Chains A and B, each alone.
Chain A
Amino acid sequence: MKTATFLTLCLIILASSCLPAAGQTDLNSDRQDELFTLQVLPLLKSKCFGCHGNDPDNLKGEYDLRTRSSALEGGESGGPAIVPGEPDQSPLLEAIRWDGLEMPPKENDRLDEQQIALIERWIESGASWPAESTQAEIRKKQWSSPDPTDGIRVKNSGGLADEWTYRTYPPEDIWAFQPYETTQLPAGHQHPIDAFLQTKLETAKIEMAPRADAATLIRRATYDLTGLPPTPEEVAQFERASRKNQTKAWNDLITRLLAKPQYGERWGQHWLDVVRYADTAGMSNDYERSNAWRYRDYVVRSFNQNKPYNHFIIEQLAADDLVREQEKSEDGKNFNGYTIAPAEAQVATGFLRMGPWEHTAMSPERVSRQNYLDDTVNSIGQAFLSVPLRCCKCHDHKFDPIPTRDYYRFYAALATTQPAEMKAKFLASENRDAFEEERTHVQALLEYATTEQNKLYAKREAAAKKWYEERGIPDQYKPFNERRIQGQQKFFANGEEAQIPPRFIGLTSEEQGVLKVREGETRIWTRRLERFEPLAQSVYYGGDTLLNSRKLRPPNTKNRKLMEQHKTLPLSHIYEGGSVESLGDPVSPGVLSSLQVATYSGNEQEPYSLPQAMDRRRVALARWIAHPENPLTKRSIVNRIWQYHFGKALAGNPNNLGATGKKPTHPDLLNWLADDFVNNGWRIKRLHRLIMTSAAYQASTRHPNAKQLETSDPEGTLWAVFQPRRLSAEEIRDTLLAATGELNLAVGGLPARPEINLEVALAPRMVQFSLAPAYQPSRTPEMRNRRSIYAYRVCGLPNPMMEVFNQPKPEESCELRDSASVSPQVFTLMNSDSVTKRSIAMARRLTADADSIEERVRRGFTLLGLQSPSPATVQLLVDHFEEMKKYHTENQPEPREYPVRLARSVVEEFTGEACHYIERLDIYENYVPDLHPSDVPPETRALADICLLLFNSNEFIFVY
C-alpha cells in the first residue's frame, strides 16, 4: 500500500515537472488554467462529482475527483487514472469514451464527442489544476466579461449557484429562447413556405414531388380540416372544378372546409390533447368534472370563430380578470378591445382545471396544494411556451436558461389561484338538448342507490335502538351521525370509548360492504346532478390554502376564519429541493427572466415582475405569454399547427423547444411563419390557408426518385413528399359512423356515451372506497353516435377501441399521436361488436342505395372516401360476397339481450372477502339498440363482411 502511494506521488511530481514542458500543446499555462476552470471542472462537476466527489464518505470505486492528486491517483482498480500529457495512457479517457469502462454509466450523462475532446486536450496539455484562488479569479474575470468566448451567456434572475447564473450555452441549444430578427423571404419563389423549403431541397439536389391528384387532395384536406372523409358528391364536384381551375378549386375547398362546424371539432381535439382534456379528474377517486364539457365546447367554439390565438391564451388563463377589467372600464371593453361574457369567461379558465387532481385524508394538505400548482405551472409552460417547467422545480434547469427562482416566480403568479366550481349562466350557444333525458337517468340511479342505502340504514338503526333498549336506556338513542360525533368527542376528550353501539350494528359483514357501495353510489349520483347546474370547472382568486377536494366551491363568506385565510396574500418562497417544508429565498410573482421580454406591469427595476395584489396576477402573466415579442409563444403555436398538417413538426417536439427537444429543421421558416402569424392578427385559419396553399402540402406521397430521396432524406425533413398518416382513433370511429349514415353531427353539449366493449363497460373498477358505477351508453343511437370529441372521457375507463388506436391518456399532455400498428387493432377492427354493427349498418345502407352487388361494392368505396376500385377488385369482392352468402345462410346470429340488472362482487377491505350486490342499469330498461346482425337477412350480413374488409383495408386507414 505504502509503495503504491509513493509511486503515485512520484508520478505526480513527474507530471507536475512535465507541465511547463508540455510542448506539444499550444496552450500557455494561463490558458490551461482557464480551460480547466471554465470548462473542464464544470464538466467534471456535472458529470462525475455525483459519484466521485459530492459525498466524500461514499466515493464510488474509491475514486475522488475533487483534487488533482486524487484525480490522478485513480481508485480501487489500481494504477493512475490520469497520466498528464498522455491521454492514451489515461484510463479516465477510456472510461468516458465507453471503451472498456463505461463512465458516466448513464446513457443520459454520457459525454459527447466535444466533451471527450475537451478532457483529452486538458490531459494532453498537462492536466493543469490551478489553486482555488486562481480559479476564483478566472471565474470572476470570465463572469464580468460581457462577451464570453465559449458560448452565449443568458441574463436571468439568478440561479441557486453562481456557476449556473453565469454559465454559457451553445447557441444552438437556446435558439428558442433568443430574440431573433425577422427572416427575409428568399426571393424568386411564389409561395413563402416553398421558398424556404426550396433552399434546402436545392442543396440536397432533390425536387419536390409533383402535386397529388384531385381525389387524393380532397381526401387529405377534408380529413385534415374536419376529421371526416369527403362525401362522394364533394369529391366529384372538386374533381370537376379542379379540371377547370386547379388553384381556384383548391382555394374554394379550403374556404368551404374552414367554414364547417366540424373544423372546430377537429382542431379543438388537437388542443384538447395538449391540455389533457377529460371529464373526470383521475387518480384514485376519479372525481367527476361535471361541467368540463363546457370548456371542451368553448375550445371548439374558439377555433370555429377563428379567435386570435393571443386572445385564446389570455382567456384560458385569465378571462376572469378580463371581466373585472371590462366592468371597470367605461366602454365595457377589456384591453384587447372586446367584451367577453362573464359566463364564457368562467368556462374559458377551465384550462386551469385539466390536470389530474385529488386530495385524500392521507396526503398533507400543503402537498396537495403544491401538486395542483406544480401541475398548473408545468402545464402552462408546456402548452403555451412549449417549455415544460417541471424540470426546474427542484434545481436550476440542467439545459435551458430557466433558474429555479423563475419557476417559483411563475408559481407565485398562480399562488392566489383557487380551483373551484363557479356559477356560470348557460350561454345561448351551448347545446342543452340532452339535459332532460340525462337528468332523468341520473335521478333514477340516485333514487335506486338511496333506497338501497336507506334499507340498510333502517336495519342498522333498528338494531341500535334495540341495543339501547337492552341496556335499559332507550331514551339515550341518537341517530348515527350524532353517535359518531359522541364517540369521536369522548375519545378525543379522554382517550376512552363512548358507550355507543358498534358502528355497523345489525349488519352482516356482507351488508357492511354493500352499505359502503351504496353510500358511494349516492355520493356519485348526487354529484352528477351538478351537470345540469349553471356551473363551470373554473378558478377564482383566494389565498394559498387548500380547499376540500370533494366539493370545490369558494368558501362561504360567513366562515370568517376561512375568509381571513382567503384574503391573506401568500408569501412566496423558493421551495428548496421542491419540498414545501424547506423555504428558500422569498420570491414575488414574475415571468421567465431569460427571455428578456418585459411584462406590461413591470418597471425599470423589475421588468419581469407581475402584480403582487391578490388578483390580476394571471392576466399579467397571460399578457406576457401572448406578447408579440415573446419568442417562445408564437413559434410554439406555429410549430404545432405545422405538425398537425404535415404529421411532423419543424421543431420535432412541439411540447419542448428547449435544449433537449429536437432542433428545428428550418429555423428561418419557423421564425418567418411565427412573425407572419403575429403580424396578421394571430389568426389560425389564415395560417391553415397559408400552409395548405403551399406546394409542399399538395405534394404527392410518391416521389419520382424514391431511391435518391431515401439516401438523402431518410428522416423526411426536406418535405419533398407528403407523409401518409394513419387516421386517428376519432377519425376512424367518426368515419365509420358517417359512412353508415348513423353519425349525428350535432355540435357540443353533455358528454355522449357511445357503446363500448360490453365486458369493459360492465367490468368492476375501483374508485376510492368503492366500485365505480357501470358504464352505460346513451339510450338512443342518435344520442350516442355523436362525433368522438363529444364522447365521455373518463380517466380510469378509456374506451378500448379508442385506446387501441392511440387516443392519448389524459395524465400527460400529448404533442403528437402515436400511430404504431399493433395486433390488438386487428381484434378491434375485425371482431369488435361496435365495428361489426357498423358493417351491418353500412351493408343495409348500400342495399338501399344501389341495386346490383357490383354497384353496392363500388358505393361502399365512395362512401368511405376511397378511390374507386379496379374491375378486378370489384370482382374479387363480389365473388367473396357470394361465398359469404352461403355461410351466413347457414349461420344465424343470436339476438342481443341487454342486462337491466347487474350482479356485482367486490373484495371489501373491511372483511377481506367478496361482497355481492345488484346494480341497476336503467338505460337498458328502455334502450334503443343499433341495428344488430340478427336483425338483417344473410345477404346483408354477407355484404357486411365486404364492408368489414373495407374498414380493415390499408386504403381506408391511411390518408395519402
Chain B
Amino acid sequence: MNPFQLNRRNFLYGLGSSLGSVAFSKLLADQTDIRNKPEKTPRAKACIMLFMEGGPSHIDTFDPKPKLDELHLKQFKIESPRFSGMSRGNRFYVKSPYRFKRTGENGIPMCEHFQHLSDPEVADELCVFRGCQVDSVNHPTALYQMNTGNRLGGDPAIGSWVTYGLGSENQNLPGYVVMTELAAPQGGSGNWSNGFLPANFQGTLLRSKGSPILDLNPPSWKSRQHQRANLDVLNQLNRQSLKNHPQHDDLLARMDNYELAFRMQMEVPGVVNIEEEPEAIRSLYGLDRPETSAFARQCLMARKMVEKGVRFVQIFSGGWDSHDFIERAHKKRIQSIDQPIAALIKDLKARGMLDDTLIVWTGEFGRTADNTVRGGETAIGRDHNNKAMNMFFAGGGTRPGIVGATDEIGQTAVENVHPVRDVHVTLLHLLGLDDNKLTYFHGGRFKQLSQFGGNLIDGIIA
C-alpha cells in the first residue's frame, strides 16, 4: 500500500508517484471539484508572471539611492574571502543615470522611463517588495531558483505547482503557458519544467510566430477534416487493442488524449489571435508602437488566456543584464514593457478581473551599486547582486505600497528580508494554496515548492 494514509488531504495533494499514472489521472479527473477548492479563502485564481531575465537593476527602477550620486566613480572596496570577478581589482560606485519621481498616493518611486506605470491609477495598484534575496549570483541557477525553488534545476516550476494545486478550468487549453521574447532564457525549458510532477503540468511554450504550440496542426496539405477521418479510424484500431488488452488501463487515457488534442487545435488559435481586439485595446497595450508591440502582444494574449481559464501565464523579457551602458540599455528595456504592463493592469481592472489575477514582476536577482573597468573603460553598469533586488505584485489580493528596504546604497536588503522560498510561499498563499500542503511524494519524501517550507511575507497580503 501507499506509504501514507489516503485521507482527504493526502488525496488532494500528496498523491505520490507510487500510484500508477493511470490511477493518478483517474483520481485527478474524479477529484477535480475537491482539488479546485483550495485550503484557505481563495483570492487569486490565476497568475501572470512577468520575468525580466538578466536581472533588472532595483537601483534604476523602483529603489532609488541618492547616496550613490555622492559616491559616483569613487573607489569601492570589498573585503571578502569569496574571491571572484566581482571582488577582484578596483571597483567604483555607479550612480543611477535616471531621475526618479514619486507616484500616486502611495508614493512609490519610479524611474523617469516608467511613463505608464507611474499613472496613479496603476501605480497605486502596485506592491513593491525590496526584501528578497536569492542564493546564486549566476543567471541559470538564480533563474531556476526563482522559477522552481531549486537552484540546481530539475524540480517543478511554480506554474506547474499552481496548476497541479488548482487544476484546470479549461480542459482544452494548457493550464500553464510560457512565452519568451526573442530567445529562450538561460536554462531553457528547465525554467518551466514539470520536474517530478506528472507531465501534463509542464509549462507549454506558446510561440509568437508559426504554430503557437509545436506541431499543433497537421501539415498545410492535410485538412482538419482529413485529420478527423484519420482519428476516427485510429479510434477503431485502438478500440480493437482495448479488447486485446482489457487489463491495461493506460490505453483509455491515451485514447482520450487524441480527442483532447483535437479540441486544443480548435481552441488555441482563438486565444492567440489578437487581431480582432478593438482598436482601443490594441492601442492601450501599445500594439501599434514598434518598441512595445512584442511585449504588448504577449500581455494581451495573457489576459485573454486568463479569461479563458488558463491558470498560470509566464512571459519572459530578455536583455536586462546591464553590466555596461546601463543608461541606454535599461531605458530601452523599461520602455518595451512599461506601457504593456500598465495596460494589462488597467484592462484587468476594467474587466473586474484584477482581484482574481495576481501579477508578478521580477527578475532572477538585482544588481550591484558598483562596477569595474571593462575593455579599458569605466563601464557604467552593474554586476549581479543576490542580496538585493526588487519585484512588484499587483492584484490578486496584494496590498499596494512598499514592503521591505535595502541599505543606503542598495547593496543588501535590510528590512523585511526574505529568501526566495518565502516569496514562493506567499505567492501560493495568494492563490489559495498552502505550500506545506501542496506536496508531491517523490524520491522518498514529500516535496514542495519552497523545498523545506517557508514563511509568509508580512505586508504583501491585503
Question: Which residues of A line the B interface, CB within 8 A?
Answer: 98, 105-108, 282-284, 356, 358, 360-367, 483-488, 491-492, 495, 497-498, 500, 502-503, 509, 581, 652-653, 655-656, 658-662, 701-703, 706, 715-716, 721, 724, 726, 757, 759-760, 763-768, 771, 795-798, 800, 803, 806, 809, 811-812, 818-828, 830-833, 836, 870, 873, 876-877, 880, 883-884, 887, 891-894, 905-914, 933, 945, 948-950, 952-955, 957-958, 960
A487 adjacent to B376 (CB under 8 Å): yes
Residues of A within 8 A of B207 (CB): 759
B338-392 contacts to A (CB < 8 Å):
373-378, 383-384
Cα A522 to Cα B153 in complex, Å, equals 29
Interface residue? B283 (CB, 8 A): no
Known: A656-B443, A701-B247. A909 touches B54 (CB 8 A): yes
A914 adjacent to B377 (CB under 8 Å): no
8 contacts between A and B (CB under 8 A): A106-B453, A284-B140, A360-B138, A759-B210, A809-B153, A911-B332, A912-B328, A945-B230
A484 adjacent to B376 (CB under 8 Å): yes
A362 adjacent to B375 (CB under 8 Å): no
Known: A662-B444, A948-B230. A488 touches B376 (CB 8 A): yes
B254 adjacent to A954 (CB under 8 Å): yes
A724 adjacent to B18 (CB under 8 Å): no
Residues of B within 8 A of A282 (CB): 140
Additional A-B contacts beyond A724-B250, A765-B184 (12; CB < 8 A): A284-B140, A484-B376, A503-B376, A763-B183, A823-B261, A831-B216, A893-B221, A907-B318, A909-B321, A912-B331, A912-B336, A953-B237
Residues of B within 8 A of A362 (CB): 84-86, 137-138, 383-384
Known: A724-B250, A894-B220, A909-B319. A484 touches B375 (CB 8 A): yes
A283 adjacent to B187 (CB under 8 Å): yes
Measured CB to CB, the closest approach of chain A to B421, in angstroms, equals 12
Cα A893 to Cα B222 in complex, Å, equals 8
Measured CB to CB, the closest approach of chain B to A114, in angstroms, equals 13
B86 adjacent to A828 (CB under 8 Å): no
Measured CB to CB, the closest approach of chain A to B289, in angstroms, equals 14
Cα A236 to Cα B381 in complex, Å, equals 72
Cα A702 to Cα B378 in complex, Å, equals 74
Known: A364-B84, A715-B1. A891 touches B198 (CB 8 A): no
B230 adjacent to A107 (CB under 8 Å): no
Residues of B within 8 A of A655 (CB): 443
A502 adjacent to B1 (CB under 8 Å): no
Measured CB to CB, the closest approach of chain A to B154, in angstroms, equals 4
Residues of A within 8 A of B373 (CB): 487-488, 491-492
Residues of A within 8 A of B41 (CB): none
B25-76 contacts to A (CB < 8 Å):
25, 53-54, 75
A833 adjacent to B219 (CB under 8 Å): yes
Binds A, one of B125-133, B238-246, B408-416: B238-246
Cα A495 to Cα B89 in complex, Å, equals 11
Measured CB to CB, the closest approach of chain B to A238, in angstroms, equals 20
Known: A362-B86, A953-B238. A283 touches B21 (CB 8 A): no
B384 adjacent to A706 (CB under 8 Å): no
B257 adjacent to A832 (CB under 8 Å): no
Cα A484 to Cα B18 in complex, Å, equals 60
Known: A365-B84, A757-B214. A767 touches B229 (CB 8 A): no
Nearest-CB residue, chain B, relative to A794: B188
Cα A701 to Cα B249 in complex, Å, equals 12
Interface residue? B282 (CB, 8 A): no
Cα A830 to Cα B373 in complex, Å, equals 55
Residues of B within 8 A of A491 (CB): 90, 373, 376, 378
In-complex Cβ contact of B329 among A811, A892, A909, A945 (8 A): A909
B412-438 contacts to A (CB < 8 Å):
436-437
Most central of A356, A358, A655, A892 by chain B CB within 10 Å: A356
B60-106 contacts to A (CB < 8 Å):
75, 81-87, 89-90, 92
Measured CB to CB, the closest approach of chain B to A113, in angstroms, equals 9
B186 adjacent to A766 (CB under 8 Å): yes
Measured CB to CB, the closest approach of chain B to A543, in angstroms, equals 16
Residues of A within 8 A of B248 (CB): 701, 724, 958, 960
Measured CB to CB, the closest approach of chain A to B331, in angstroms, equals 6
In-complex Cβ contact of A107 among B14, B185, B236, B376 (8 A): B14
A653 adjacent to B333 (CB under 8 Å): no
Residues of B within 8 A of A812 (CB): 153-154
B81 adjacent to A581 (CB under 8 Å): yes
B154 adjacent to A809 (CB under 8 Å): yes
Residues of B within 8 A of A363 (CB): 84, 137-138
Known: A660-B445, A909-B323, A949-B234. A893 touches B188 (CB 8 A): no
B376 adjacent to A763 (CB under 8 Å): no
Measured CB to CB, the closest approach of chain B to A772, in angstroms, equals 9
Known: A283-B140, A876-B236, A911-B325. A809 touches B216 (CB 8 A): no
Known: A702-B245, A891-B221. A910 touches B443 (CB 8 A): no
Measured CB to CB, the closest approach of chain B to A727, in angstroms, equals 12
Nearest-CB residue, chain A, relative to B3: A662
Measured CB to CB, the closest approach of chain A to B181, in angstroms, equals 6
Measured CB to CB, the closest approach of chain B to A258, in angstroms, equals 28
Interface residue? B215 (CB, 8 A): yes
B82 adjacent to A364 (CB under 8 Å): yes
A820 adjacent to B198 (CB under 8 Å): yes
In-complex Cβ contact of A105 among B204, B241, B453 (8 A): B453
B247 adjacent to A893 (CB under 8 Å): no
B319 adjacent to A836 (CB under 8 Å): no
A877 adjacent to B83 (CB under 8 Å): no
In-complex Cβ contact of B190 among A809, A819, A894, A906 (8 A): A809
Interface residue? B260 (CB, 8 A): yes
B254 adjacent to A821 (CB under 8 Å): yes
Residues of B within 8 A of A907 (CB): 181-183, 318-319, 333
Residues of B within 8 A of A702 (CB): 245-247
A764 adjacent to B182 (CB under 8 Å): yes
A283 adjacent to B138 (CB under 8 Å): yes
Known: A495-B75, A907-B182, A911-B328. A831 touches B257 (CB 8 A): no
Residues of B within 8 A of A911 (CB): 325, 328-329, 332
B443 adjacent to A933 (CB under 8 Å): no
A893 adjacent to B234 (CB under 8 Å): no
Nearest-CB residue, chain A, relative to B336: A912
Residues of B within 8 A of A500 (CB): 376
Residues of B within 8 A of A891 (CB): 221-223, 226
Residues of A within 8 A of B318 (CB): 766, 907
A954 adjacent to B242 (CB under 8 Å): yes
A108 adjacent to B446 (CB under 8 Å): yes
B321 adjacent to A797 (CB under 8 Å): no
Residues of A within 8 A of B321 (CB): 909
B90 adjacent to A830 (CB under 8 Å): no
A581 adjacent to B227 (CB under 8 Å): no
Interface residue? B160 (CB, 8 A): no
B221 adjacent to A894 (CB under 8 Å): yes
Residues of B within 8 A of A659 (CB): 444
Interface residue? B253 (CB, 8 A): yes
Question: 4 tightest CB-CB pairs across the interface, nearest first?
Answer: A487-B376, A660-B444, A912-B332, A361-B85
Cα A488 to Cα B323 in complex, Å, equals 16
In-complex Cβ contact of B241 among A358, A486, A832, A954 (8 A): A954
Interface residue? B145 (CB, 8 A): no
B84 adjacent to A912 (CB under 8 Å): no
A498 adjacent to B376 (CB under 8 Å): yes
Known: A363-B138, A701-B248. A826 touches B257 (CB 8 A): yes
Most central of B204, B264, B443 by chain A CB within 10 Å: B443
A283 adjacent to B332 (CB under 8 Å): no
B219 adjacent to A831 (CB under 8 Å): yes
A823 adjacent to B229 (CB under 8 Å): no
In-complex Cβ contact of B83 among A364, A658, A824, A953 (8 A): A364
Measured CB to CB, the closest approach of chain B to A909, in angstroms, equals 5
Residues of A within 8 A of B237 (CB): 873, 876, 949-950, 953-955
Cα A82 to Cα B227 in complex, Å, equals 68
Known: A873-B240, A893-B220. A913 touches B138 (CB 8 A): no
